[in-house]
Each structure stands twice: as C-alpha cells, then as structure tokens.
Chains A and B, each alone.
Chain A
Amino acid sequence: MKPPRPQKTPPMVPPERFPLGPRNPFKEFEILRVSRKEIPLDRIVQSTEETMEHIRRGYEKLLEEEAKELVWMVQYNTIIKAYEVAERYVKEIDFTAEDIEDFCFALENTQKIPYLIPGPAGLYISALCNCVQEEEIVLKLSELKTEINLLGFRLAKGRRLVIQGDAGDFTGIGLEGGDLVVEGNAKNWTGAGMRNGKILIKKNIGLHTGEWMMGGEIYVGGRVRGLGNIVDGKVYERDKLVYPGKVRYPNQYY
C-alpha cells in the first residue's frame, strides 16, 4: 500500500510579497475618498429637465397631429383646432413661467427640438401661458433669433404676458381680456380678432393691425405701419388715438 501523498503546502511567502500585479501609483489617494454630497441644485436641475422633457413631448405630439407633413397653414379653423390640441397636452404638465422661457430657447436648438414650425410653436407657447399658475409671465426673448408668431393667443382676463424682445405675426390675436406687453417690435396682423384686453407694443408694429378686432385697446410706442379693418376697439400711436379717428385707410402705408 502506497503511503498517502503528502499534501502540497503553499510557499511560505509573507502576505505583502504576494505577486499582486502592477502597483497602483495613486494608492495613497484612497484616503481621500470623499462622499458625494447631494445639494438642492441637483434636484432643481433634474426636475427642470424632466418638465422640459414633458413640454417637448407635448409639442412633438402637437406636430404629429396638426403638422404631419411639417406644413401648417394659418386659417381660422386650423388655429382653433391646433390650440385645442395644444391645450389638451399642456394641461397634463406641471410647469412654471420659467419653463416656458426655456422652451422658447430650446425651440432654436435643433438638437433638442428638431422642428420649429412657427404657427404651432406659437400656439403651444400661448397654451402654456394660458395654463400656467402664475398670473404674470415675463419671457426674456431678446436673444432669440426667431420671432415667434401667435404669441398671446386668447390671453385671458387677469393674466399679463410680457415679452422682452420682438414678436412675430399674429401677436395677441383673439385676446380675451388679458394684458400683453411687447417690449420690442411686432409684425403684421397684431391684435386681429381680439375681443377685449390691452396690447402694448413699445416699438413699431406692422400691417393689418387690429384686423376684425371686436374690442380692447392697442397702444403702440413707435409707428403703426398699417391698420386693418377694425370693427370695434381703440388703437393709439404714440399716445395719439388713430382709431377711431380721422380717415385712415386700412392697410396703407402712412
């Protein structure tokens, strides 16, 4: 009978001399392990981004429904329908006035939002302004390269919207008693079909101003390029009443 084979004993090497591979030259930094502190900024930024993501998704859904071919025509019924769709999506989101401003700038960033279609974008922003909790909304848009159309659509009584910068076409159309201030210029068809409320354009305004307006007041700090066919209401140019007033031919340069 063979004697049992003695078991192999491990080599007697001090533990520190075990071959451990290359030595980590930064080992001494291990003592400086700092636990990452959470500060309120992290939470604020995260929640801002989540809200922006919801707003962005709502806008994309609006485009999917109302501008399938990425073409959108400004007509009475298309405006009404697109606004209703926009309002439906907006009502599902919890947001603040600052989120609206961020969304305006995100529209110019093609990496964030691939398509900026001025009509639906303006209606969507109007829906945001009409549904936000704050009653006074200030949008600092003077650095925006694009002038957004249809801002202030159906702005309701008790709400005040201040645009710092220029506004595009159809600003303040269908105003429903709100107070709209544009600190720059506004283009054509401003205040068209407005029923009540006040629009103040601090600089110049384009053609067809107040077309089919039914009531309310438009104040222009600069020049009015042309008035539309006004039904009722008042238009002031540099504190001077120009409608109703002496003969002013609609849509004529003067």
Chain B
Amino acid sequence: MEERSPKTIVEEIWPRVKKKHFYPEIPVPKIGNVTDADGQEEKGEGVGLEIKQKQMTINPDFLAEMKDRLAVEDTIEALLDHGVTHYTFCPWDFHTYMTLYSEAKKVMDDKDLAKQVTTYFIDVVSDTHCVKEKATKIPELHRHLKRGQIGETLASLYEKIWGIDLGSSSTAGRKGRHGDVVRRLARIPYLDRTRWPDSIRKFARSVKPLFIEEEENEKSAGGKSESNPLGDHDVENYSYDEIDQGLRDYAKESMALPEFREMVEDFSDELKEAGYGMEGGMGRGRGTPLDADILFYMKLAENYSLPLKKVPIEKKGSLHPHSHSPWEVGSPIQDVDIWTSFGRIMPGITQIWKKKEGKGRGKIEGTPECLIAVDSSGSMVNPRKNLSYAVLGAACAADAYLRNDSKVAVYNFSDAPMGGKDVLEYTHRREDIYRVLCKYFGGGTALDLDDLTPLIQGRKNLDLFIITDMKITNLEALIGFFGQIRNRITAVHIGENPYASRFERAVEKRGNINIYTVKRKEDIPHIVLGRIKEYFNEGFRSR
C-alpha cells in the first residue's frame, strides 16, 4: 500500500479534530520546518509542533523519527489535539498566558525558567483537559516520546492523574527519582481555571529544583536544555490583535505600572518582533526601544472609552458606513452589521461596517481638535514610578479625540516660566502624544499663558482639557484666561483641596467650563469631554 504524505494525513484528520473541538477558528495546520527555543531550525526529533500566530506547523522530522514507535496518523492527531486545546482551553488568550507567566516568575525569579515552567504547566492543563473530555491519542504520544529528567517526572505525573500506564520510571519498577515532586504535582486542580494562578505557583514551587538542576547540568555540560517536544508557548502564538487585547486586559487588571513594566521588559524581544516599538514611538512596526511605561498608559486608556460630545462644525462631514470588514474579538460591537452577520457574533461570520468620512455642507456635527494641558509638578504622581491618574485621564482624553480622527496638542507643565514645560503641536501621532504626557518635571506649578495663546489663537473649534491638582501658583491668571475664551473646557482636578474649590467657585457660572474631580481610577469614566451645559439648547438653535 502506498504511504500517504503527512500533508494528506493532516487534510484527512483536520476536519475530525476541528469537529471534536467544536470548530475553533484556526487555519489548516501545515507540515514544515520548525524552530527551537533559541530560534534555530530544529533538526531531528526535538520539537514536534510549532504555533505562530495561530498557525500550527508540524515538524516532518519529528514524524519520521516517531514513525517506528507510533503511527503517523496517531502522532499527528495527538499533536493537533494538543495545539488546538491551547486555544480552546488553556491558556485560551494572551492575557491568561501573561497572568500565568507573572505568577510563575514570582516563584522562579528568572524569566527563562518562568517561561519554561509556564509552558509545561499549560501543557499539563491542556493535555489533561483533552484526556478527560475528548477521545485523544495524547497518552499514546506521551508513552512513546523520548524523555529527559523533566519529561520523566511529568510522565509519572500523567500516570498518576490520568490513570494510564505511560512506561515511566515509576511504573517500570524503579522508584521514581522525584516521587515527592510527583506527589505534590498530582494534588494541583489543573482543570479549575479560577485557581490557575494559585496552581501555577504551586507547580513552579514543586518543579523549581528540577529546573535549577537541569540548568546547572546544561551549564556544566555546555549543551542545550531539554526541549519540550510539544513546542514552547510564547508571544509568537498570538496574533497582533490578541496581543493588543491581552496587554489592555493585563494593564487594567494589574493597574500596577511596575508589574506591567517587568512583563513588557521580559517579553521585549518578542513584542518587538510582533511589531511594538516602532521608530520614535510605541505603535506597530519594527524598530527602536520599547517604552513600557508609555505602553502601559496607552493600553490602560484603551479600556476607558470617554464619551465625547460633538459640536456643529462647518464643512466637516460625519462618518458614514462605507464597506464591510470581518469582525474580530475586540472590534467595536456597535459597528456590527446584523443583517450581513445573520444575527450572530462569531469570528468568521460577523461583519462590521468600515466608516468613511463624507463631505458635509453647512454645519454638521463633528469633533474639534483638542489641547490637553497636564500638570507634572512635584505635587503630582510621577507617571513613570506609579499609576498617575492625571496622565491616565489625559491619555483617555487624547484617545477619545484621536479615535474621532481629531488632532491633539499637549502642554505638559510644571514650573513653565522657568522652562519646566514641554509643548507638542497638533498631531495625530499617538506615540508622540503619550511621550509628552508621560514626561515628569516634578518642580513648582505655574502656567505660562503666553505658551497657550499660540496654540489657541485662530482655532475657532477647539476643546481644552486641563488636568491638574489646581495647586497652581498663578491660578488667578488661569481663571482670568479661561474667562476670556469661549471654547469648551473640561477641567479635571485630582483630589480635593482649597485651590480646587477656589477654581470651582470662580468658574461655576461659566457655561463652557465643566469640572470633574478624580479621587479614584473609577472616577475617570465619569468624565464627559466637552460637555457644555447649554450645548443642546445653543447648538441646535444655531442650526
């Protein structure tokens, strides 16, 4: 009988695997060369499966070497079951992966060891889920894999928790070298996702001596560490949007700048590879340094969608639905076209409207440009050391205007008359805006109104957003300045103090100024940009 090629076998098996796992949205797996943990092309049996941006690739050399021990069909099915379960159960998304990694790092104190431990933990969870819930060849694959010290320990663990003989040293009559480790590992509730952070800490605590021993052996022998035959789990497994969403969720959940910075620094190479850290900034594209602090505020701000009241603007068209594009997790749900999506929210079926700006005649509602003034004096929190609500608030405001395709200018001030300031002209460049917002002077607090005038002059439609603790030396001059202009002003003060009360009293009768207090991060979403008391009356009367 003619031997079928691995590609043919994959094509035959893939529909069955997809059905078994309830049709995950994953492209057809490929047969091709894979790279090992060091990025070198893998030769021989080492790594069987590689996943990059959801694309699974099976190593043909691995299949060839396994052929004598296990049928190629069974090896492929087991590898695919394993790979698919990473998307359908553990880690599920990039955010979960980062959470697991950060917990492992707390125990291992080393980024490479933490990455390895995370990979092994994810594998144990995925394979155990598969063995319990699906008909799978994973146990057969494990039975025939060549094993090092860690592999042997995990095989003993699988025997204990799956109740299947995998021919490990403990079943072969020899007392396993790491019986105590296996005993500890077997008590972990792998299938309870709510307890994964605790579980991975316990897992790491138990296997830490093994990994340290392995690392020492590797150093003394000058060789390579034991590679995981089922492939490493890393940032590369995810698509751009999944990484973006993961970073957003992680920033929101931890709300801690040092933790986020540590995470970004640990994954800086992979994130750069994925496109973070472009020239001069933090958008996508290859290039120079990755500023974790800026990325933190950027991703955190994306979690808050501040409502923005529009104003009648001449010769400015509003956005209208123009064409369709496929919906992805994270895309705005309000843009979904329910008619062409058959009423379903499902990647691959759902479509969203892509909006395009049209030319309007007369006065049409639009978003003006915005000048953001942010206080970075000594009384404010240094945004590069701790979470600064001022910078987060300003970042949310900038994000709201940029999303509406309006330009933003930034005036970062401390002791401005003495040079403690940074001014950024009107721009769409997100990373430049965040860079100026995150600058910290830490001196006295005074505005130089001469700096503001050129940024305001000649711009009829302009919003002002100022965020400060109001402990400004020339507060009276600022109040006087606000009294002269008719632009919409959103003033946000951090915390309560007599200066803030003075400012509130002075401008309370001004219809174009809205004041908000931020005491906690939860107050930030309550800010409505450019809301004017008389807007609805005056705005529509003038039309």
Question: Which A residues are closer than 8 A to B by beta carbons?
Answer: 29, 32, 34, 36-37, 39-41, 44-45, 48, 96, 98, 101-102, 105, 138, 140, 142-143
Contact = CB atoms under 8 A, between A and B. Distances in A.
A41 B158 CA distance: 9
A37 B202 CA distance: 25
Contacts of A39: 128, 131-132, 161-163
Given A29-B22, A34-B133, A143 B184 contact: no
Interface stretch (B2-10, B187-195, B234-242, B494-502): B187-195
Contacts, number: 53
B160 interface: yes
Q: What range describes how many residues of B lie at the interface? A: 20 to 34
Contacts of B161: 39-41, 44
A202 B268 CA distance: 38
Contact of A40 (B22, B162, B189, B190): B162
Contact of A143 (B106, B131, B190): B106
Given A32-B22, A39-B162, A44-B186, 20 more contacts: A29-B22, A32-B19, A34-B134, A39-B131, A39-B161, A40-B162, A40-B163, A41-B132, A41-B190, A41-B191, A44-B187, A45-B192, A98-B187, A102-B187, A138-B180, A140-B206, A142-B205, A143-B106, A143-B107, A143-B201
A36 B106 CA distance: 35
Interface of B: 19-20, 22, 106-107, 128, 131-135, 160-163, 180, 183-184, 186-192, 201-202, 205-206
A199 B533 CA distance: 75
Nearest to B23: A29
Given A40-B163, A140-B205, A48 B133 contact: no
Contact of A98 (B163, B184, B189): B184
Most buried by A among B131, B186, B190, B206: B186
B208 to A, nearest CB: 8
Top 10 nearest A-B pairs by Cβ distance? A41-B161, A40-B163, A45-B189, A48-B187, A39-B132, A140-B205, A39-B162, A37-B132, A44-B186, A98-B184
B186 A41 contact: yes
7 contacts: A34-B134, A40-B160, A40-B162, A44-B160, A98-B184, A98-B187, A101-B184
A143 B190 CA distance: 20
B338 to A, nearest CB: 15
A143 B183 CA distance: 19
B102 to A, nearest CB: 14
Contacts of B188: 45
Contacts of A140: 205-206
A98 B132 contact: no
A37 B161 CA distance: 13
B342 to A, nearest CB: 10
A168 to B, nearest CB: 20
Nearest to B183: A98
A143 B206 CA distance: 12
Contacts of B184: 98, 101
Contacts of A41: 128, 132, 161-162, 186, 190-191
B170 to A, nearest CB: 14
Contacts of A102: 187
A95 to B, nearest CB: 12
Nearest to A41: B161
Nearest to B19: A32
B187 A45 contact: yes
A41 B162 CA distance: 7
A46 to B, nearest CB: 9
A169 to B, nearest CB: 24
A29 B20 CA distance: 10
A37 B133 contact: yes
B306 to A, nearest CB: 34
Contacts of A32: 19-20, 22
Contacts of A48: 187
A98 to B, nearest CB: 6
A129 to B, nearest CB: 16
Contacts of B20: 32
Nearest to B187: A48
A157 B382 CA distance: 57
Contacts of B22: 29, 32
A229 B452 CA distance: 74
A67 to B, nearest CB: 27
A117 B180 CA distance: 30
Nearest to A46: B189
A41 B190 CA distance: 9
B89 to A, nearest CB: 14
Nearest to A45: B189
A240 to B, nearest CB: 30
A207 B261 CA distance: 40
A22 to B, nearest CB: 12
Nearest to A136: B180
A142 B106 CA distance: 11
A34 B131 CA distance: 12
A48 B205 CA distance: 18
B520 to A, nearest CB: 22
B17 to A, nearest CB: 13
B205 A143 contact: yes
B344 to A, nearest CB: 9
A39 B136 CA distance: 14
Contacts of A29: 22
A194 B116 CA distance: 44
Contacts of A40: 160-163
A29 B23 CA distance: 10
Contacts of B160: 40, 44
A29 B192 CA distance: 25
Nearest to A29: B22
Contacts of B131: 37, 39
A40 B161 CA distance: 5
B248 to A, nearest CB: 27
Nearest to B206: A140
Nearest to A102: B187
A36 B190 CA distance: 16
Among B131, B132, B134, B201, the most chain A Cβ lie within 10 Å of the Cβ of B132
B15 to A, nearest CB: 13
Contacts of A101: 184
Contact of A36 (B19, B132, B180, B206): B132
